[in-house]
Amino acid sequence: MRKIFVLGSLNIDLSINCDKFPLSGETVIGKNFISNPGGKGANQAVAAAKMGGNVIMLGAVGNDFFGKKIKKNISAFHVNNTYIMTKEGATGVAIIVVNNGDNRIVLDSGANYQYNYADFEKTLTKRANPGDYFITQLENRVDVVSDGLKLAKKLGMITVLNPAPAFKLNDEIYKNCDYIIPNEAESRVLSNLYDDNTEEVIKYFLSKGVKNVIITLGEKGCVYTSNQNIKYLKAVDTKAIDTTAAGDTFIGALVAKLSDGCNLEDAINFANLASAITITRQGAQQSIPTKSEVEEYNNK
């Protein structure tokens, strides 16, 4: 099994359910408040580890209670936390409001934006081998993400970018992506193609030098490239309770299977099942199923 390095955000998620999203100046009554570790980077690392991956986390937390909690929690899920830096100041925080399975998120990056190239360059250079996987997102500074992808490719790693939150990217980032995995809305922001032709969006990414494109479509499933062909996979029919970590679960599960030698189509099917289980549960990392749970679900 190949190692999986995740360079990304580590946050504390503060999540609450409500019967309606508040309008400007409005207060609504919430329920089921929970506080738990999150962040796209950490969520994807935990998902990959729960699916059996050998995962090393690269990122930063603040010098506070939340930072200590995050490092302890991620280690409990068998993610290597040795290389998580502690920075002065606050840990990243995400405020999540959930209504009828949908969510709205407000993010304060905190220590994630203090994390820089020098914090991980030596670790990646010494510990990564050709064929290992490198996952990153856009909740850290874009220069750190870009430099991380470039270094990973130089080391012969297989690179995976989840471009969230989405904004226009330079072509060098695309050229260093073996896989790009946005959701539908993110893919349209990145490509500036807002009609219903998803295949044109895929062709846009391929024209930029990306080798493999996977676009998650929520309740419609996903669309992806396989051997130069564009294929669709339907979503599993489940009742959504909280979609917070659905995309992160998909990515972590996908890469865990790929790192274990699984072919792309089987890995996508597995990730699709894992994501379907996640949305039936509340929260982020605690909602992510284990490998055995996904396998059991698949055998029903």
Per annotation, catalytic residue among 108, 143, 248, 266 = 248
Whether residue 130 is predicted with pLDDT greater than 80 in this model: the reply is yes
Beta-carbon contacts of 197 under 8 Å, excluding residues fewer than 6 positions away, are none
State in Å, rounded, how far the first CA of the chain is from the last one: 27
CATH number of 3-298: 3.40.1190.20
Domain boundaries, the chain: 3-298
pLDDT (0 to 100) of residue 92:
96
pLDDT (0 to 100) of residue 160:
98
How does pLDDT run across 262-287, given as a tens digit for each residue? 999 999 999 999 999 999 887 778 88
pLDDT (0 to 100) of residue 281:
87
- 248: annotated active-site residue: yes
pLDDT above 90 covers what percent of the chain? 80
Whether residue 4 is predicted with pLDDT greater than 90 in this model: the reply is yes
- Mean pLDDT rounded to a whole number for the chain: 94
